[in-house]
Chain A
Amino acid sequence: MVRIAVDLNRCQGYAQCAFLAPEIFTMHGDEALLYDPEADEAQRAKLAQAAAACPVQAILVDAVDAVDAVDASAEAVSGAR
């Protein structure tokens, strides 16, 4: 699973992502973008293409696995170390 966020301040509706990864990105009206905030692992390559093709580099994708955060919260200890 890959997490996605789009900086829609940057996004200018070029729709390159919607061409390259239509399962994840769709245009909503003429200019607004809708996206699935979580994509399957199988879509990672396509997603990377879409992110790279964005003319304003608005697409943010997981660069590291966040599993550590979930585990850490379950074992959170008292106070900082």
Chain B
Amino acid sequence: MPWTPSTPRPRRCPVRGDGALEQLKREGRIVVVGASLAGLRAAETLRAKGFEGSLTMIGDEPGEPYDRPPLSKQVLLGKARADRTALPRLRSVDATWRLGVPAAGLDMAARRVRLADGDEVPYDRLLIATGVRARPWPREEEAELDGVFVLRTRDHGAALARRLADGPKRVLVIGGGFAGSEVASACRERGIPVTVAERGASPLVGALGGVIGAVSAGLHREHGVDLRCGVMVTALEGDASGRVRAAHLSDGSTVETDVVVVSLGALRNTEWLAGSGLGAGPRGIACDAGCRAFDIRGIVTDDIYAAGDVARCPHPLFGYQFLSLEHWGNAVAQAGIAAHNMISESTDRLPHMEVPAFWSSQFGVNIKSVGVPSMGTEILIAQGSLESRRFVGVYGYQGRVIGAVSFDHGRWLPFYQELIESTAPFPPSFPTVDRHPDGQRPMDADFPDPSVPSHGPTVTLSGYSPADRRITFIPAH
């Protein structure tokens, strides 16, 4: 119909369509499943960006959102209490909190989340930030022995810290990834004898490769850890009262221990979405770069978003592979992007393009990383030296810089992040300060064959189907 001056249309913002978005922001219902770091930061962002409707936060744990990194560090050292790590509130979220009850189902057509207690919560926009949980010891009767722990939640941290304070005879850590290494480090700092059993050739090998893994192994041993690599724990044995007393290893040896910390990585909390039609599976929830979740047909939804450890989304810097990241910074950044996009017109949406970054501190050394080291095939020590355990290692993949790791050299990492972002050539063509001549040659980064069991990296490059386990990089357990 031709436009005529006699039929003036109500003036709205240009490209603002039918006003549905304004209505959503004014009186819509947004539900966030997962009341941890990503969920809280998303809620704060929604309010900061002018969302005035109702906000419901659903969390399976009873308390308010708390910070996890201190649990394996300050808390185990006895320098902070596990029940006192609640996250600071950056702004008021004015939400209805449904805590202590997990989500149990999703009806995408009716736009409702079903809770484990039978309640149903309707939404106009849904954010899924259900994260991961600790992978339990596979044999249930052994996992239930007194003295066998995992470390993921505040309750886990409190229980393990209590037991460490009692002065156990020996702690056995199963798995030498970042979390397991931090536990071992805390034990040694408290003077507790500790054994680490790692299936791979060295600690951290899945995340950082064998060159750096060897440095980590040296740190473990120098600090008095009884480090056993290339072995698996085959069985845990309890005494008559149901307390763990020993672990049997695949090399035939036995470790007498009264505390076992199972540190075998994490499982994504997606089971509650089974049968919902959402593209969720053991690899996480597939979403687009704007955090909108895919359904199982590969069609992107417009009302369901994912953020944090449970999300996996394509990253242009890493070949558009779906990345899932168990990183604090990723949860914060992705939550902010998801929240923004939930209440934005399609043309105003933002992509989640944060370069992965994480930190760990263990045995007095600050380890930081940017990019995706586990994608690298070569490594070059650009600054410092492996021997001094103060260095920056740069990872190369197909002639470009793909990641970097620092040991007590964190201040240099932003520079290497820029190289990753600009797909700079590898090996780097410029001289660096604090460089050692023998470090300037690229060498094999020595990542384990992904088909050989070892601990998995915290960065996972995964395939495209949510159910597909034959993927590019297989986390081991």
Contacts and interface: CB of A to CB of B under 8 A. Distances in A.
Interface string B81-120: 1001111111111111111100000000000000000011
B30 to A, nearest CB: 9
B29 A31 contact: no
Given A31-B366, A38-B84, A62-B88, 8 more contacts: A8-B69, A9-B359, A12-B411, A34-B74, A37-B80, A38-B80, A60-B90, A80-B54
Interface string B323-354: 00000110010000000000000000000000
Interface string B170-196: 000000000000000000000000000
A49 to B, nearest CB: 16
Interface in B245-278: none
Interface in B28-64: 29, 31, 54, 56, 62, 64
Interface residues of B, number: 53
Interface in A59-81: 60-66, 68-70, 72-73, 76-81
Given A32-B366, A73-B99, A37 B84 contact: yes
Contact of A32 (B31, B329, B364): B364
A28 B364 CA distance: 6
A78 B122 CA distance: 11
Contacts of B79: 34, 36
Interface in B343-398: 357-359, 361, 364-366, 368, 390
A58 to B, nearest CB: 11
B408 interface: yes
Contacts, number: 124
B201 to A, nearest CB: 26
A76 B411 contact: no
B231 interface: no
B218 interface: no
Given A12-B410, A32-B364, A37-B80, A64 B91 contact: yes
Contact count band on A: 35 or more
A12 B410 CA distance: 6
Contacts of A76: 96-99
B237 interface: no
A29 B96 contact: no
22 contacts: A4-B88, A8-B359, A9-B357, A9-B358, A13-B411, A29-B361, A29-B365, A30-B366, A30-B408, A32-B364, A32-B366, A34-B73, A37-B67, A37-B70, A37-B74, A64-B89, A69-B95, A72-B97, A73-B62, A73-B99, A76-B96, A76-B97
